[in-house]
Amino acid sequence: MARHLYTLIYSLFLPIIIARLWWRGRANPGYRQRIAERFGFLPHRPRPGGLWVHAVSVGETLAAAQFVKQFMVQNPDTPVIITSTTPTGSEQVKRIFGERVFHMYLPYDLPSFINRFIKSIRPGALVIVETELWPNLLACCDQHDLPVVLANARMSERSARGYGKVPALTRP
């Protein structure tokens, strides 16, 4: 029930979220590029069974880089998909990996967008770097029997209190 309420509220705020994205694009045009990806429409479709790594921005991409490089050495035939939410994260992925990985923006946390994304890339597993714990993302992964690993997670006391305020949403 809590996730459905979250989804409703998120849906209602989506026009504001999009307007904010457009506004941020004034200072950084990267926010206005590849907008379709944020709705789950993807420019490329890697082979199924790849490793999906979500690294929200620059810091998370740097934190995941060595792991991804090692994974690619040990699994050269497995595609790697890295998602982020910021243009600077995207630039960092391209700088570190070039064309050796697929980079896409993580869709907004609404089931239709996330499901479209998962059905398009058909990953074998998702590794979330840090604590990017989006309720619909995790629920959709569960629905698709997609294993999820939380890597390098740490949470401040303040964040823990915030998550604790909505246990019906965060506990699952």
How would you write the chain as a 3-class SS string? Answer: CHHHHHHHHHHHHHHHHHHHHHHHHHHCHHHHCCHHHHHCCCCCCCCCCCEEEECCCHHHHHHHHHHHHHHHHHCCCCCEEEEECCHHHHHHHHHHHCCCCEEEECCCCCHHHHHHHHHHHCCCEEEEECCCCCHHHHHHHHHCCCCEEEECCCCCHHHHHHHHCCHHHHCC
The residue extents of the domains of the chain are 2-165
Res. 127: pLDDT tops 80: yes
Q: What is the model's pLDDT at position 135? A: 94
Res. 59: pLDDT tops 80: yes
The verdict on pTM exceeding 0.85 is yes
User: What's the CATH fold of domain 2-165?
Assistant: Rossmann fold (3.40.50)
Averaged pLDDT score across all residues of the chain: 93
* 155 vs 31 pLDDT, higher one: 31
- What is d(CA 54, CA 40) in angstroms, rounded to the nearest whole number? 14
Backbone angles phi, psi at 118, to 5 degrees: -60, -45
pLDDT digits (tens, 9 = 90+) for 76-92: 999 999 999 999 999 99
Catalytic pick from 60, 91, 132, 157? 60
pLDDT digits (tens, 9 = 90+) for 90-118: 999 999 999 999 999 999 999 999 999 99
Q: Which of 39, 33, 16 is nearest to 109 (CA)?
A: 39
- What is d(CA 53, CA 50) in angstroms, rounded to the nearest whole number? 10
Q: What is the model's pLDDT at position 170? A: 77
Q: What is the model's pLDDT at position 8? A: 97
Known catalytic residue at 157: no
Q: What is the model's pLDDT at position 158? A: 85
